[in-house]
Structure 1
């Protein structure tokens, strides 16, 4: 991760529990890590591993919890302890700061039209 990456704080919590979590602009190298980092479960995974994997993959729209951890440079275990409303705020800021990445995800998910025969 580079020192050149922009970051913006997102305030979470309230009162004395309030704190800022920085959300970062990622580099193409970090984007590749997200695309290559698709996790899979071993065949002998236990129930806890399966549940953790499922939540990681489907809790948020557009990215996994593991992917969000890259945007905020925090461990997944820390993000698992945050309410979904906070996670959505962090994701919204990640989308704001990384529009090219999220646009690329849409393009990757959109079937490309077949070239017309000559």
Structure 2
């Protein structure tokens, strides 16, 4: 809940929540929230959506950098997280592909029928 408040730029609400839940002083609650902000654990928007977008665009390295900057995790941990997210993303994209294929309109056979009729008329005219 604290990170939700921070992602919405509601730092005062986050401090109040920490103070209420831990029964600490305002200064201690503020220091705790400031530490969260400084350690870059808060995300703007949904970080997974941003990472998936980068992965779809083929920017895996950028996705790892973005996650590492936002989470403060090590390079290896960031790489593992992004790769795991990419595996789930590929499953989602496979589902998306199936849905897109199902949504495609049926092929239009109008021209083929016209050509067959024309060929039949020409054949009939030649064989008469």
Max Rg structure: 2
* TM-score using structure 2 length: 0.24
More helix by share: 2
Tell me which of the two structures has the higher relative contact order, counting C-alpha pairs closer than 8 angstroms and 6 or more residues apart: 1
More strand by share: 1
